[in-house]
Amino acid sequence: MTEFCSSIFGPEFNEIDTENYDGQSGLSALEINFGAPACFGFSAYFINGPVTKEELSYEDICGLIDQAKDLGLKKIVFSGKEAISCRYIKDAISYSGSLDIDAIILKDYYQVWTNSKNNIPPICTRHNFSCVVTSYGYVLPCPGLQIPVGNIHNQKLSDILKDSEILCDLKEGINRIKGPCRTCKEARNCRGCRGRAYDITGDYLASDPLCARNEKRRHEIFSLPAPAGRIIPQMPPMRVIDTIDKLGERSAQCSVLIKEEMPFTGKDGSVDRVAYLEMMAQAIAALNGFRNMDSSDSAPEGYLLGAKNLKINKTAFAGDRLSIMVFKYARYGGFGIVKGVVKRDGEILAEGEIKIWHKTDE
């Protein structure tokens, strides 16, 4: 038996919970996937640091079910090829039953997406009421959207759901989707498959490129890597990032080719240490700008307030291609603290924290 990932929890969840959705951290349904990878590359870098190989124990699973129950859990699905052979699966199902939670094991895994039926995606609202937790503890928005938004080994599930910008964007539905889907006549109900949009464009908010209704408008769908010039206000020579390459939970990876004519490049071609801070600040501005492209909200105006714990390991020179990874790890109203790392060929040149402020409604 093969199911579609959009319908595994049934219409009662799609209809009732979408209409009654009233908070960022509510959760009616949960999937624990025993077949998902242990490593999500850049997307997991800031969430867990080096890849964790720590599998969930029976106690971890019961703790997770308890946490989810407090958030409103009614149904749990154990999926992935290894689910059926997991030594504590029967106990986990009994434990769910003792809490009045329906539990099923999905013996064969299901289809994430298909190109059948003229390639119109199913109407899918799973992000509104469910999430996936992998056997390594990573929390994913849905089976096809494999961007970790946290890890239950080091955070409470409710905090992960509440703090996730990706889940918040997904729950806002069509208002956050970029490109042609926004003007489709089906947009009130449909938001395309976020999993296949992310796989193809690198952007979980892109219009669904495989939908037949978008066939003649695919050139309007933006993909990563995207030029920073369209996203941040800084113009050359003050622009010190070239492209935004990857998106993750409150994180982005950007890149720049260092040029002699940049104001931070000295006569000997070396890059001034101040430039690393500016790269981190522009990378976070690119993340905010990219999330807000095409949405009714404009990218918030922001400023770099200061820096701490800056460590410069090596110097960059004109001709070097650098990648800049940033992660917003704390927010207090309009203030935020961002961790940043600048690398050249995988080697860390500089790392530190910057404090930023951006305009909020409060």
Instruction: Give the footprint of ligand SF4 on this chain (CB under 6 A).
Output: 5-6, 112-113, 120-122, 124, 126, 142-145, 181, 184, 186-187, 190, 192-195, 207-208, 211, 213-214
Q: How many other CB atoms are found less than 10 A from the CB of residue 354? A: 25
- Which residue lies nearest ligand SF4, judged by its C-beta? 144
Tokens encoding 209: 């490129």
Nearest to 75 by CA among 57, 108, 99, 47: 99
At residue 283, φ and ψ (nearest 5 deg) are -65, -40
- Cα–Cα distance between 359 and 303 in angstroms, integer? 9
Q: How far is the CB of 190 from ligand SF4 (least distance, A)?
A: 3
Q: How far is the CB of 185 from ligand SF4 (least distance, A)?
A: 7
Count Cα atoms within 13 angstroms, Cβ side, for 131. Answer: 34
CB nearer to ligand SF4: pick between 180 and 336:
180
The answer for residues whose C-beta is within 8 angstroms of residue 321's C-beta and 6 or more apart is 255, 256, 257, 258, 344
Nearer to ligand SF4 by Cβ, of 145 and 258: the residue is 145
Residue nearer to ligand SF4 on the CB measure, 111 or 315: 111
Cβ neighbours of 143 (radius 10 Å): 24
Is-contact 77 8, C-beta < 8 A? yes
| In the complex, least distance from residue 172 CB atom to ligand SF4, rounded to whole angstroms | 14
Structure tokens at 51: 């890849």
Q: Residue 91 or 220: which CB sits closer to ligand SF4?
A: 220
Q: Kindly state the smallest distance separating residue 29's Cβ from ligand SF4, in Å.
A: 11
| SS3 state of residue 298 | coil
Size (the chain), residues: 362
The two beta strands, 75-79 and 102-105, are parallel
188-213 in b/e form (b: 16+ CB < 10 A) is: eebbbbbbbbbbbbbbbbbbbbbbeb
- Least distance (Å) between residue 100 CB and ligand SF4: 25
Nearest approach in angstroms of CB 52 to ligand SF4 is 24
Nearest distance in Å: CB 192, ligand SF4: 3
Burial of 71 per CB tally in 10 Å (0-12, 13-18, 19+): middle
Smallest distance, ligand SF4 to C-beta of residue 271, A: 41
Of 178 and 213, nearer to ligand SF4 (C-beta) is 213
Cα 305 from chain centre: 26
- Indicate the residue among 87 and 117 with the shorter CB distance to ligand SF4: 117
Question: Taking Cα atoms as reference points, which of 329, 332, 333, 334 lies closest to residue 352?
Answer: 329
CB of residue 166 to ligand SF4, shortest distance in Å: 12
Tokens of 276: 């690393």
Nearer to ligand SF4, 72 or 122 (CB): 122
Nearer to ligand SF4, 6 or 255 (CB): 6
Instruction: Tell me whether residue 51 or residue 187 sits nearer to ligand SF4 (CB atom).
Output: 187
Q: List, in sequence order, every beta strand (DSSP E) within 266-320.
A: 302-312
Distance CA 204, CA 77 (A): 24
The distance of closest approach from Cβ of residue 138 to ligand SF4 in the complex, given in angstroms and rounded to an integer, is 15
Nearer to ligand SF4, 54 or 186 (CB): 186
Pseudo-torsion of CA 141, 145, 150, 151, nearest 10°?
100
